[in-house]
Amino acid sequence: MSRGARLRPGLGAALAGGALVAGLVAGPTSAQVVSAGAPRAGGVVSLAGAAGAVPDPGRLGPVHLDPLPAGVSLDVPDRTGTLLARSGARASVAHALAVAADSVTRPAGTPGIASLSEHVRPSCSGSGTDGHRVQVLYLHAAGTSRYRQVLPVLRNEVANVDDVFALSARQTGGERRVRWVHDAGCLPVVGDVAVPARALGTDFWATVAAVKARGFTSPARKYFMFADAAKICGIGTVYDDPSPTHNLNDGRYPSYARVDTPCWSGAHSTPAHELTHMLGGVQPNAPHATRFEHCWDESDLMCYDDGSGARLRQVCPASQEQLLDCHHDDYFDTDPPRGSFLARSWDTARSSFLDDEAPRADRSGTVPRRGSWTRPRVRDGVLSAALTDASGHVLARRAVAVQARWRGAGTWATLSHLTTDGAGVARTRPARARAGWFRFASSGVTSRAAYLKVPVRLR
Ligand SMILES: [Zn+2]
């Protein structure tokens, strides 16, 4: 769902609010432009400003400002109290700092995902500034900072983004967290950045130019801007590049996204939506992509009526609305099945701006136990195993990847995805003409392997 920007080489004409915004011609090396997008109805944003603002605007397509999500208005009050109340981040700043500074403690705040009672723990890898990182910036007009007041809201939004990536990854049997720029205590850093007031209007490129002038220009960063303004919902850059490796979205160029106050703490995470754009989703060659780099197989955080003319189809349950990639076949799968689109094309779950989060020790040095699998067994051609948590309770309806290591091969490959039943049992019927070892994986917990000589086919 909702709000972003996207780019594509080539050209386009876009409809916004039923009116043809403009013809737009953008070649690989030049970008002539067009009109500014209408922040309420969405539309095409001037590409002219992208020249000089991003290193290679020709690789961007027509930048599209998403229409406002249902129920969102730019006219809502953005008083601090209103923002805090909507966030549910009732914790005081001091409490948020104290709690979140403990790297093994979950961030304070109220998760936006209804099924979560608390946020997932953030990544705590490296120095906090090494390698590729997503850097959070609070942008405000000089002299009007509400940094301390809104910090709990922004920390909660950052935690919501991690929740989206963690839960979406678990649907495919993996774990992912955002590689935030974080401090020594693994607390994501929220930069306090003053910009000229004119940089907080509807012109996204003026915003980008302002932060670049402050030195935020590294290809090793994705600059994630929370703007203290109520001019737009959200917008973010995407480079059109389906390459599975050395992708333009994976550290070749700096990336920028902006989310204004009306879309802080929404029912759907606009920040997670914009970050997914910066990571390279949804590429136009994906099976269910729209030409505005969203998708049409609802429910899905990146799918919605974006003015592209694509007709939406309800394919996944409404619960997927807050998560990434309905059926994990267009832009996010931690372990795409062999031969699938995401195994051959760019998969944002492969981004070097995400960490594959493993369980880590708490302060006493104890690594928390996750779940465990019963020993897989084969009966009447069906391979099965049961998943329980550390206390022995069955884990029902958990996403599971079925993996195989073929006889003579050294590595495991994911064959398919399934879900445990009400008793926590995963079942699959092999019917493949090759012998090999088979196992189940869920949230980083893998079962023992069962060797099958019989011809099998997993589905
Ligand atoms: Zn979008």
Mean pLDDT of all residues in the chain?
Answer: 81
Residue, of 363 and 337, whose pLDDT is higher: 337
Q: What's the 305 CA to ligand 1 centre distance in angstroms?
A: 10
The reported pLDDT for the residue numbered 455 is: 55
Q: Are 155 and 210 in contact (CB under 8 A)?
A: no
Give 280's pLDDT tier (boundaries 50, 70, 90). very high
The reported pLDDT for the residue numbered 391 is: 67
Phi, psi dihedral angles at 365 (to 5 degrees) = 90, 5
Q: Say what percent of the chain tops pLDDT 90.
A: 44
pLDDT in tens, 33-59: 344 567 777 777 877 788 888 888 888
- Could you count the other beta carbons within 10 Å of the beta carbon of residue 30? 11
Give 95's pLDDT tier (boundaries 50, 70, 90). very low
Among candidates 69, 54, 39, which has minimal Cα distance to 9? 54
Q: What's the 312 CA to ligand 1 centre distance in angstroms?
A: 15
Q: Are 199 and 111 in contact (CB under 8 A)?
A: no
Average pLDDT over residues 204-226: 96
Q: By three-state DSSP, how is residue 318 classified?
A: helix
270-279 vs 147-170: helix crossing angle, rounded to 10: 60
Average pLDDT over residues 347-371: 70
Give 422's pLDDT tier (boundaries 50, 70, 90). confident
Position 92 pLDDT exceeds 80 = no
Position 458 pLDDT exceeds 70 = no
Cα 240 from chain centroid (whole Å) = 17
Q: What's the 128 CA to ligand 1 centre distance in angstroms?
A: 28
Average pLDDT over residues 175-183: 94
Q: What's the 268 CA to ligand 1 centre distance in angstroms?
A: 12
Q: Are 440 and 385 in contact (CB under 8 A)?
A: yes
Average pLDDT over residues 324-330: 95
Position 208 pLDDT exceeds 90 = yes
Q: What's the 273 CA to ligand 1 centre distance in angstroms?
A: 6
Q: What's the 402 CA to ligand 1 centre distance in angstroms?
A: 32
**What DSSP string describes 335-357?**
SPPTTSHHHHS--GGG-TTEE-P
Position 74 pLDDT exceeds 50 = yes
Give 105's pLDDT tier (boundaries 50, 70, 90). low
- CATH code of domain 372-452: 2.60.40
The reported pLDDT for the residue numbered 31 is: 33
Which of 39-43, 95-99, 179-183 has the lowest average pLDDT? 95-99
Q: What's the 61 CA to ligand 1 centre distance in angstroms?
A: 13
The reported pLDDT for the residue numbered 46 is: 76
What is the pTM (predicted TM-score) of this model? 0.74
Distance CA 261, CA 91 (A): 19
- Domain ranges in the chain are 10-350, 372-452
The reported pLDDT for the residue numbered 154 is: 96
Q: Are 388 and 394 in contact (CB under 8 A)?
A: yes
Q: What's the 306 CA to ligand 1 centre distance in angstroms?
A: 8
Provide the token pair at 307: 């003015």
